[in-house]
């Protein structure tokens, strides 16, 4: 079971990409919720309190520096989690494989490949089998 899971993680195909997109979207929602619920109010308190705490105005133009700081923190948190949860473990796995401590995905042997090719060729060259007795009599 664990070997199959490792092979799944190390395969590069469309399904894996789709899973990554879904997990990434869910993770982004969690980080966004955290920054909206906790960091934005904290930035508002540091910036003078209240709803307008992360803004300043010059010539009737409002600059929302608090929203920018919030997005920077969201980006840094997302990047840090991806680095520590995905990049570092994958890097360690690849290094172990290079040192020979962990086997890579098992590839089919030449014999297995030749048997598969033989079976495919037989299936392509086999005469079409009649489906009913009536069809068999008409062909004979």
Kindly report the CATH number assigned to the domain that includes residue 76.
1.10.1200.120
Asked whether residue 128 is domain-assigned, the answer is no
Domain boundaries, position 40 = 2-107
- Tell me the H-state helices in 35-102: 40-46, 65-82, 88-99
Report whether pLDDT(47) > 80.
no
User: Token match 């920054």: residue?
Assistant: 35
- Single pTM value for the model: 0.48
> Of 55 and 9, which is predicted with more confidence?
55
* Pair 105, 7: CB distance under 8 Å: yes
Asked whether residue 26 is domain-assigned, the answer is yes
Residue 105's pLDDT band (boundaries 50, 70, 90)? Answer: low
Asked whether residue 123 is domain-assigned, the answer is no
Please provide the average confidence, as pLDDT, over all residues in the chain: 76
Cα–Cα distance between 97 and 102 in angstroms, integer?
Answer: 5
Residues 6+ apart with CB under 8 A from 7: 105
Residue 33's pLDDT band (boundaries 50, 70, 90)? Answer: confident
Asked whether residue 135 is domain-assigned, the answer is no
Tally of domains in the chain = 1
Report whether pLDDT(138) > 70.
no
């Amino acid at each position: 079971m664990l070997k199959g899971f490792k092979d799944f993680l190390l395969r590069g195909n469309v399904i894996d990409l789709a899973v990554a997109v879904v997990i990434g979207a869910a993770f982004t929602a969690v980080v966004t919720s955290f920054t909206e619920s906790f960091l934005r109010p904290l930035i508002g308190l540091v910036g003078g309190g209240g709803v307008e705490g992360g803004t300043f105005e010059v010539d009737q133009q409002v600059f929302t520096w608090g929203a920018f700081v919030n997005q920077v923190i969201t980006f840094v948190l997302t990047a840090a989690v991806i680095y520590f949860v995905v990049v570092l473990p994958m890097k360690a796995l690849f290094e172990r494989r290079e040192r020979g401590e962990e086997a890579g995905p098992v590839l089919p042997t030449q014999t297995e490949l030749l048997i598969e090719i033989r079976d495919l060729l037989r299936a392509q060259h086999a005469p079409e089998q009649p489906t009913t007795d009536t069809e068999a009599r008409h062909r004979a």
